Amino acid sequence: MKITSPIPYGKQYISEDDLNAVQEVLRSTHLTQGPKIQEFEEKFAAYIGAAYAVATSNGTASLHLCTMALNVKNGQKVITTPITFAASANCVRYCGGEVVFADIDPQTYLLDISSVEKLLEAASPGTYAGIIPVDFAGRAVNLEAFKQLATKYNLWIIEDACHAPGGYFIDSKGNKQLCGNGKFADLSIFSFHPVKHIACGEGGMVTTNNLELFKQLNRLRSHGITKGDDQYINSKDFAAGIANAADFPGWYMEMQQLGYNYRLTDIQAALGISQLTRADQGLERRRAIAANYFNAFNEKPFVLNQSGVVEGHAYHLYILEVENRLGLYNYLRQHNIYAQIHYIPCHLMPYYRQQGWNEGDLPNAEAYYRHCISLPMYPTLTDLEQEFVIDTINKFYHA
């Protein structure tokens, strides 16, 4: 078949309804801090099954708000996976904490709980503050198991669920546990970058079932400013600028801690709300595309491993592990197919090498990186385009 435009590994889908939703905000009085933010938060929390959600300017800001809210301090150690986007680790560094990478499970590509347990067993109590598991590629981490470990060692959990809105795992009682539902992780974070499931341009969310953390995230998102009589530290007299004031005046607010401007705009929130109405449809299409890839590559001799068909997988990415990965990558580009590599292991980035990490430290992650390639995966990928991708890969291997 003839492919007229390049096929990327991921892309957003903007509908007429999306355009109308954004236009409506642009014609309204609030471009930011208006009603769309709270509406998006409430609808997203309901979709994910969490009690509370806080909209933020992007996924990285979400992560930073979480490490601040959990009081990550200088020198504290936090465990995460090396096979993720750097932000999952960097949020620890923003607060002066130390990142400790643990290896992945070569079958699932997720943070390997037994490597985490080994680190915890070997350390003196209090060495580690928390764990940041990542629902990598859209495959849900078994957070029930991580929660047991976290409870035993008195650690918090931040779930990086950027790849997995709508993803779930099955718990020990046979129940579905949606990524970000707050049952096991203290805080979960999402990104609305255009390659993710829901596109806001830039945007993020934190979900939690913890009311205190929810309040803290809200303050930190907006400069640490508090507006509410019951929370003020200063006296009414001082606030009014006179003695014996009966009330706090209307203008009064307090900056009680150091926060940031990590707010989302109403323009972006309106786009997010509109996109959320199609989230399940998109997920269904991603799962169908994954099933096609699995059937095409199952038992092909050049395939070492693949994402496969896994219940609850949200398929942000569909990954093959292959021989001659570089050859395949270049061949696909020659044929207008822009596959991608997720990820170069974080611990081998120059920044983390400077902190003492080296090749050989995490053998499973490094072996995975040598062979992995992410195939085109997005809801508007057509059957014909997917067939072209599959045929081109088979042609490269003469399979």
Beta carbon nearer to ligand PLP, 103 or 248: 103
Pick from 271, 76, 236, 67: nearest CA to 158:
67
Size of the site for ligand PLP (CB under 6 A): 14
Task: Count CA within 13 A, CB hemisphere, residue 136.
Answer: 28
161 and 167 in contact (C-beta within 8 Å)? yes
Output the smallest distance, CB 195 to ligand PLP, in A: 7
Beta carbon nearer to ligand PLP, 191 or 340: 191
What are 263's two structure tokens?
């707010």
Beta carbon nearer to ligand PLP, 160 or 266: 160
* Residues 139, 135: Cα–Cα separation, whole Å: 5
Output the smallest distance, CB 374 to ligand PLP, in A: 12
Binding of ligand PLP by 84 (CB under 6 A): yes
| Residues 177-236 within binding reach of ligand PLP (CB under 6 A) | 191, 193, 204
Beta carbon nearer to ligand PLP, 297 or 379: 379
What are 14's two structure tokens?
């903007």
154: left (phi over 0), alpha (psi -120 to 50) or beta: left
Output the smallest distance, CB 149 to ligand PLP, in A: 21
Binding of ligand PLP by 85 (CB under 6 A): yes
Q: Residue 229: exposed, middle, or buried by beta-carbon count in 10 A (0-12, 13-18, 19+)? A: exposed
Binding of ligand PLP by 269 (CB under 6 A): no
Output the smallest distance, CB 342 to ligand PLP, in A: 8
Given 10, 12, 52, 60, the residue binding ligand PLP (CB under 6 A): 60
Beta carbon nearer to ligand PLP, 87 or 362: 87
Query: Measured between alpha carbons, how far is residue 81 from residues 104, 157, 196, 347 in Å?
Result: 7, 13, 19, 9
3-state class of 13 per DSSP? coil
Binding of ligand PLP by 340 (CB under 6 A): no
- Contact region with ligand PLP (CB under 6 A), list: 31-39, 113-121, 157-165, 270-278: 157-165
| Widest pairwise Cα distance in the chain | 87
Q: Give the residues across from 265 on adjacent strands.
A: 32
Binding of ligand PLP by 159 (CB under 6 A): no
Let me know the angle formed at the C-alpha of 36 by 31 and 37, rounded to the nearest 5 degrees.
95
Output the smallest distance, CB 262 to ligand PLP, in A: 11
Binding of ligand PLP by 45 (CB under 6 A): no
Q: Which residues of the chain form contacts with ligand PLP (CB under 6 A)? A: 58-60, 84-85, 87-88, 134, 160, 162-163, 191, 193, 204
